Chains A and B, each alone.
Chain A
Amino acid sequence: MTGGVPGQVCLMQGNEAIVRGAVEAGINFAASYPGSPSSQVLGMLGKIARERGFYAEWSANEVCAFQACTGASLAGGRALCVVKQNGLLCVADALHCAAQAGVKGGLVIVSSDDPSAHSSTNEFDSRWQAVSAGIPLLEPTTMQETKDMIPYAFDLSEKAGQVVLVRVTTRVCHGRGNVVLGELPEKPRALERVREWDRMVCVSYMHGPALQKLETLRQLFESSPCNHYEGPEAPKKLIIAGGTGRLYGQEALRRLGVDRETGFMALGTLWPLPESYILKRLRTAEEVLILEEVDPFLERAVQALAGREGLRVKFLGRGDALPPFGELDPDVTAAAICRLTGAALPEKKPAGDLELPVREMSFCAGCPHRATFYLLKRAMRQEKHPGVVVGDIGCYFMAGQSAGQYAWQTCNCMGSGVNVAEGLGQLTNYGLDQKVVTMCGDSTFFHTILPGLVNATYHNANMLLIVLDNSATAMTGFQPHPGTGLTAMGDHVKPMDIPKILDAVGCSVETADPFDVVEAEKTLRRMLDQPGMNVLIMRQPCATLMTKERSKKPVRVYVDQDVCIGDGCGCDKYCSRVWGCPGNTWDFQKNKALIDPVTCVGCGVCAKLCPSGAIKVDRGEEA
């Protein structure tokens, strides 16, 4: 990321290209909260921050990250904020304010969208946020463009005095491609003292000047190197692509052999629209296909432009030629282009007739969450009226599926669980006769649970919050959070003590070990019976951390198949079917349980649950 010589060609992942771009831009400040698909960016920046003389931080949440960036910008620093689509919505209020106040040092937000929600709870399109906040929007396609667009965005930001949004998608973040390296600055730009009469304030009369900035940017975008056109001078059939749509489109055009007669416009500057640039081709077009992910963002904007200009153009896009949601792929793109051009759609041959088994997402082998949700289901079933469980966002999102015994009835966004539960918990004083439970991870606790915790405790809601303390931000790859005692730049700092925070807030707090299934269930049931705001910390390190431990001290868990009763009455594959740990498998030859020694991390919980006592744990030195 910091090596190589200018002009050298390197194979890079999109996230790496963002990092290289930031370093070439000479950033002074970077802040982020992890979220797929862009989680790796700040991790890499943290590792090189000292060497390159900038500051990098895993912030407690995206709002902290973005607002810290506006602070850095006030001192003339170049600041990069990296968020995923959901994070950008967390930032929305701060962004709308910053957009009116303007920036001094360049401020760029990289927002990574996850079309088809491969590693997200929901799919949506960040680009509308740019329109709403009134800020410029860029979207790269190739790795080269991704790298180049970051310094370009910083230059734009400073030229216009405005925040710039760079939107990337999963395939860009995780794809790989060649990147020609640019110059690295000697050192980050010098900071400027904040002057007495500097005023970067969000007040309503700044709305007009903010809109004026957009007009300036529109002029710049008319000749931006980020926009490309190939094809006939006066196309009748025109494709306009944004983001990944460009690569899918180019590939399909060539494959179908209609690339010469079809106009192909790839836009990197999506907002404000480079109107003249677009109109030059749009005026001759009879039919236009828009390729973009996910919403018809460009489609609506170009339609509006055509309408304003009184053009008679037929538009194809999302909802007609393309599915109304989900990411693009070569097949849907080719089909849409066939519809535009009249080319014949080539028949698709299946790669093979092998059907892959459908697998649900699950907790890792040895994951402490599995034990917690197993106990929670047991506890809930013991209530006279089964309780209501409110989910939250983290690995434990999977608790809504079989991995967590279908634990919860509702799940909103990150940090919502405690608030949804508070609402239900208050109604237990008004006739709702159910226990109310919610949960959060330790990282989520710092991210957005704290205000809800204060609210629920202050208003004495009858509820239980389970803090799944696995000492990690496990879902996105073990980034440090305020509970870990580590920072993005590798410094050791004083970790935040969750029990102390809870004590100070004033709720009832207990800690249990979910692997001690008997005691943990008792504690859980006792807390469910207590009125008021209760917090149970389920503490057990993440299984992936345990795997590292296990390599030092191997534990062998195995099934005594003479004792195992398999699918017989009294068990019915309790370990592999109900407990459901990937380490508990099935011996189809003998119809007995089996432990997969490769997957098993040796937590030994299944041995405690086996109704026949057939699962044995050999801890080596004790044998």
Chain B
Amino acid sequence: MLSTIALDTQVLRRGLCTGCGACQGLCPYWGSVDGRTVCFFDCERTDGRCQRFCPRMPTDLDALRKRFFPEDSILPEIGPFRGLYLTRAADPGLRARAQHGGSMTALVELALKEGFIDAAALTRSQGGLNPEGVLATTAEEVRSCSGSSFQVPPTLAVLNRALKENKYRRIGVVGTPCKTLAVYKMRANPLPENDNHAENIGMVFGLFCGWGLDWDGLNALAARHADPARVSHVDIPPSKYHSLELRENGAETVSVNLDEVTPLVRSGCRYCADMTAEFADLSIGGARSADGWDVDKGWNQILVRSEKGEALLNLAREKGVLEFKDAMEGGLEKLKKASLGKKRTAVKNLRELTGAPGDLGYLNPSRELFRDL
């Protein structure tokens, strides 16, 4: 099938697209508007990078992870695992602008400084709404990208362009699970005639993710409750609060009932089976330990998945870039449970979408992994 038509019929029209941007920045056919992936014209190639990289085109996840991670390190619930840590950035200035503990910003900054990476494809959310992908090459640029976004921009389009340019040789990528999966697909499954310099991918930093929101939907919601131009922070506290928080610059935080938010969840996120960004050197999220939200507020949890990730985290400890907090009793179990919950929901939604209990759509090649869910 023609590449553009394959993505259009198998991903976009089925509501599977995550808006990650893996298909973009490669050619004149694909683009993005307000988080929507747009096909401008039809490409008549039957094989192409867009098809190969798309995280929602069928992928054998088991084969992919075994290729990059030792088999004995892989936990069924959360993927490759070398350790779980509670951390936060040592720099209070950095923490003040961060989503939780600022660990991601601190680690990317360190990775850049220490030569783990020479550039980083990041998401700049500029106050929480309408984020964009950027290629950061300085610590300042990295810091300007701190803070999370609940809208997924096509950051991988920026990565693709940077790889094509072949100027940076160790590009780091920070992304949600859909994005980091796409990056590993880029590494594992390059187009024979054009590998897009996949060897220039340096390190992958995953972000824990429950779901993203529809761009227009979140903008409309923000406009109902606040001044969208002044929204500086968006967050979702633990489930018992059942709310989304919008913080306006110089104003009080507004709490929006989650019932108003859940209908805005991006369709593609309903079929995502990865909460912890299993394809990454390190995955980072807000701390959700057994001790509860208030105790862990302002801290991150970090899943170390690879040797390189471990080396960076150790360096961060050595250099005092991150502060570590002990004791996460029950933390791993809680994380596993939450991760499994997302997988269950994805499998259920995929079965509904395909209309057949045995048909998991894009997860079919990895069907075995989800057999018991």
Contacts and interface: CB of A to CB of B under 8 A. Distances in A.
Interface of A: 377-378, 381-382, 384, 405, 565, 567-572, 574, 577-578, 609, 611
B220 interface: no
B26 to A, nearest CB: 5
Contact of A572 (B34, B43, B191, B193): B43
A381 B40 contact: yes
Given A377-B41, A569-B49, A569-B191, A382 B28 contact: no
A401 to B, nearest CB: 15
Given A381-B39, A382-B33, A568-B193, A574 B28 contact: yes
B352 interface: no
A56 B310 CA distance: 88
B71 interface: no
A273 to B, nearest CB: 56
B216 A384 contact: yes
Nearest to B191: A569
A578 B44 CA distance: 10
Q: Which 6 pairs between the two chains have the least Cβ-Cβ distance?
A: A382-B33, A569-B48, A570-B27, A572-B43, A578-B41, A611-B28
A569 B194 contact: yes
Q: Which of A377, A381, A570, A609 has the most CB of B within 10 A?
A: A570
B38 interface: yes
A115 to B, nearest CB: 36
Given A570-B49, A609-B28, 14 more contacts: A378-B40, A381-B39, A381-B40, A382-B33, A565-B194, A568-B193, A569-B27, A569-B48, A572-B43, A572-B44, A574-B27, A574-B28, A578-B28, A578-B41
Given A569-B45, A569-B48, A569-B193, A381 B27 contact: no
Contacts of A570: 26-27, 49, 164, 194
Interface in B5-51: 26-29, 31, 33-34, 36, 38-41, 43-45, 47-49
B36 A571 contact: no
Nearest to B31: A382
18 contacts: A382-B31, A382-B33, A382-B38, A384-B36, A565-B194, A568-B193, A569-B3, A569-B27, A569-B45, A569-B194, A570-B27, A570-B164, A572-B27, A574-B28, A578-B28, A578-B41, A609-B28, A611-B27
Contacts of A565: 194
B36 A572 contact: no
Contacts of B47: 569
A572 B50 CA distance: 13
A572 B194 CA distance: 13
Contacts of B36: 384
B217 to A, nearest CB: 11
A414 B216 CA distance: 38
Contacts of B48: 569
A405 B216 CA distance: 28
Contacts of A578: 28, 41
Interface in B255-271: none
Contacts of B28: 571, 574, 578, 609, 611
A569 B40 contact: no
A567 B38 CA distance: 21
A89 B229 CA distance: 56
A577 B44 contact: yes
A567 B45 contact: yes
Contacts of B43: 572
Contacts of B216: 384
B20 to A, nearest CB: 18
B35 to A, nearest CB: 11
Interface in B154-193: 164, 191, 193
B39 to A, nearest CB: 7
Nearest to B36: A384
A275 B49 CA distance: 75
A405 B48 CA distance: 22
Contact of B41 (A382, A405, A569): A405
Contacts of B194: 565, 568-570
A267 to B, nearest CB: 53
A572 B4 CA distance: 12
B39 A572 contact: no
A611 B27 CA distance: 6
Contacts of A611: 27-28
A117 B205 CA distance: 63
Interface in B313-328: none
Q: Which of A569, A578, A609, A611 has the most CB of B within 10 A?
A: A569
B176 to A, nearest CB: 22
A567 B41 CA distance: 15
Q: Which of A567, A568, A609 has the most CB of B within 10 A?
A: A568
Q: Which of B28, B34, B38 has the most CB of A within 10 A?
A: B28
Q: Which of B34, B41, B45, B194 has the most CB of A within 10 A?
A: B41
Contacts of A572: 27, 29, 43-45
A382 B44 CA distance: 21
Contacts of B29: 572
A405 B42 CA distance: 10
A305 B194 CA distance: 77
Contacts of A384: 34, 36, 216
A378 B212 CA distance: 26
A565 B194 CA distance: 10
A572 B27 CA distance: 9
A117 B201 CA distance: 59
Nearest to A405: B41
A377 B47 CA distance: 24
Nearest to A610: B28
Nearest to B45: A572
A378 B39 CA distance: 9
Nearest to B26: A570
Interface in B33-75: 33-34, 36, 38-41, 43-45, 47-49
A414 B44 CA distance: 35
A378 to B, nearest CB: 5
Nearest to A577: B44
B27 to A, nearest CB: 5
Contacts of B164: 570
Contacts of A609: 28
Contacts of A377: 40-41
Contacts of B191: 569
Nearest to B4: A572
Contacts of A569: 3, 26-27, 45, 47-49, 191, 193-194
Nearest to A609: B28
A565 B27 CA distance: 11
A480 B31 CA distance: 42
A378 B41 CA distance: 8
A574 B45 CA distance: 11
B1 to A, nearest CB: 14
A578 B27 CA distance: 12
B132 to A, nearest CB: 16
Nearest to A567: B45
A435 to B, nearest CB: 13
A570 B3 CA distance: 11
A384 B28 CA distance: 19
A97 B7 CA distance: 60
A568 B41 CA distance: 16
Contacts of A381: 38-40
A86 B164 CA distance: 54
A568 B27 CA distance: 10
Contact of A571 (B3, B27, B34, B38): B27
A574 B28 CA distance: 8
Contacts of A378: 40
A563 to B, nearest CB: 13
A569 to B, nearest CB: 4
A611 B31 CA distance: 13
Nearest to A383: B33
A432 B53 CA distance: 36
A572 B49 CA distance: 12
Contacts of B38: 381-382
Interface string B90-105: 0000000000000000
